[in-house]
Amino acid sequence: MSEKRVTGPIQVVVIGFDQFEPTGKIMAELRRVRKRGVIRVIDLLFVQKDRHGNITSSMHATDLSGAERQRLGSVAGALIGLQMGGMEGALAGSELGAMAVAERDHGLAREQLRDLASSIPNDSAAAILVIEHHWATRLRNALAGAGGSLLMQAMITPEALVMVGGELNAVIEAQQVIEAAEEVKLAAAMEVALVLAEARLIEEAVMSEAADVVAAAMAIEDAAAADVAQSLLAADLIKEAAMEEATHAVAGALEVETEAADKAEKAINKSQAIKYAAAAEALRTLIASDVIEEQAAKEAGAALVAADIVEDAAAADKAVAAGLAQKANKRPGRP
């Protein structure tokens, strides 16, 4: 029989057992995937580790040919320091261990390979499985033939994949929150501009421009925020505000339960608070940007309070004062 070269990616797996009792199920499943040519078992070794840390083997299997077995010995044994294959086996284990971490593989490092034996608890059993991913050989050759080169490879656990999926969903949700926040800001700015135009405190012709000025100013302030935690908190509040339309629909249904109605009311109250805050910020920005004349600032605040866009006179006065202060700081000659 011609000797096959080990050319596919190598994976080393250590499976622990409190007590290993052969049932045939493990070997049956291995035979199934081996028959399909998916993997080749370089070495499979079942071992026992006593309470003093001494390791002895109890079962051994391999897909290697007779010549390969004679040359390589027990690769798994060599990897855990169990000298079943003599010096050649130890060298083979070292060679395949190096292959397992070669070609930018983000799997086991050489130091971890050297510590495989210590990963097995005392007074327990383990299976050390060294497999070649046979399916990857032809694929790798095809990729190389097309001019491709391996940048990295790694094994990902299902748990890690779920975590990655969760993070991706969080990113998508955050993007949706950001988009909703921009819509809320522009709507608030437009409403402020509309009320002030009706009160003849700004010209109707510049109403849209005023809304854009406020929305742009708010967006710039958001982009400059350095505290990620505060940004996330603000994003979460905006998300609740974006649910206002759905809340109205639920609260308006005839068969809404009391608990659901309470939740709807709380959401509406939060949305109203956000709207008040956004409107006050819009007023400050319009004053600071010279869209509202200084002598009309207090009148603008009163108009927004009367329209129930700014919460109360105190909030309006605070926004007016902040806008005037910011405007004063922009004047030439200010330090």
Measured distance CA(282)–CA(214) in Å, rounded: 6
Instruction: Give the domain-ending residue among 132, 155, 178.
Output: 155
**pLDDT for 57:** 73
Rg (CA), the chain: 35
Q: Is residue 1 part of a domain?
A: no
Question: Is the confidence at residue 134, as pLDDT, over 70?
Answer: yes
122 and 251 share one domain:
no
The per-residue pLDDT of the chain, averaged, comes to 65
Single out the residue of 237, 257, 250, 331 nearest to residue 290, CA to CA. Answer: 331
240 and 288 share one domain:
yes
Q: DSSP states of 279-334 as a string? A: HHHHHHHHHHTTSS-GGGHHHHHHHHHHTTSSS-HHHHHHHHHHHHHHHHHTSTT-
Q: Is residue 51 part of a domain?
A: yes
Measured distance CA(175)–CA(182) in Å, rounded: 11
102 and 222 share one domain:
no
222 and 203 share one domain:
yes
Q: Is residue 225 part of a domain?
A: yes
137 and 268 share one domain:
no
Q: How many domains does the chain have?
A: 2
Range with the largest mean pLDDT of 87-91, 172-176, 244-248, 295-299: 295-299
170 and 288 share one domain:
yes
**pLDDT for 246:** 40
76 and 166 share one domain:
no
139 and 283 share one domain:
no
Instruction: Give the domain-ending residue among 113, 129, 155.
Output: 155
Q: Is residue 5 part of a domain?
A: no
Q: Is residue 4 part of a domain?
A: no
Q: Is residue 142 part of a domain?
A: yes
180 and 325 share one domain:
yes
172 and 123 share one domain:
no
Question: Is the confidence at residue 14, as pLDDT, over 80?
Answer: yes
**pLDDT for 74:** 61
Instruction: Give the domain-ending residue among 155, 180, 202.
Output: 155
Q: What is the DSSP letter of 4?
A: P
**pLDDT for 190:** 64
Q: With b meaning 16 or more CB within 10 Å and e meaning fewer, what string describes 102-120? A: eeebeebeeeebeebbeeb
Q: Is residue 335 part of a domain?
A: no
- Three-class DSSP category at 38: coil
Range with the largest mean pLDDT of 95-99, 155-159, 242-246, 248-252: 155-159
Determine the structural domain holding residue 85 and report its residue range: 10-155
49 and 185 share one domain:
no
Average pLDDT over residues 160-164: 62
86 and 229 share one domain:
no
Q: What pTM does this model have?
A: 0.42
Q: Is residue 334 part of a domain?
A: no
Residue 124 pLDDT class (50, 70, 90 cuts):
very high
Instruction: List, edge to edge, every strand of the sheet that includes 124-132.
Output: 10-17, 124-132, 40-49, 55-61
Q: Quick check: 131 and 42 in contact, CB under 8 A? A: yes
- Greatest Cα pair distance in the chain: 99
